Amino acid sequence: MKERRDYMFTLVRQWRESGLTRQEFCLQHGITVGKFGYWISRWKEDQSGGDNGFIPMGSPKRAGHCVLSVIYPNGVRLEVPSADLGLLSSLIALA
């Protein structure tokens, strides 16, 4: 599977340097536009290092500990141990 990934990432780099549209590039290389779009997305994730701007805090869901959750309308969910209200306040202030 790694060989396939490396090959497709090479194609993505070639396409970005080619100046061709996705459709033109895919026709020349015998791949579907949909599948190529998938690999472009994977390549972009790889380039960003998978960094989505969030810092993992570990799982606050431990036996015997209460967890406070804040769920924003856009789907962002914050969960912190209820004992750490200062952290929760800081996270809310950042949003």
Domain residue ranges of the chain, discontinuous segments joined by +: 2-48, 65-94
Positions of E strands within 1-95: 67-71, 77-81
Query: Is the torsion defined by CA of 19, 20, 26, 30 positive or negative?
Result: negative
Give the Cα separation of 78 and 69 in Å (integer).
Answer: 5
Per-residue pLDDT tens digits for 2-29: 888 999 999 999 999 999 999 999 999 9
Quote the pTM value: 0.51
62: pLDDT strictly greater than 70: no
Average pLDDT (61-73) is: 67
Q: Which of 59-63, 77-81, 88-92 has the lowest mean pLDDT?
A: 59-63
Q: How many CB atoms lie within 10 A of CB 51?
A: 8
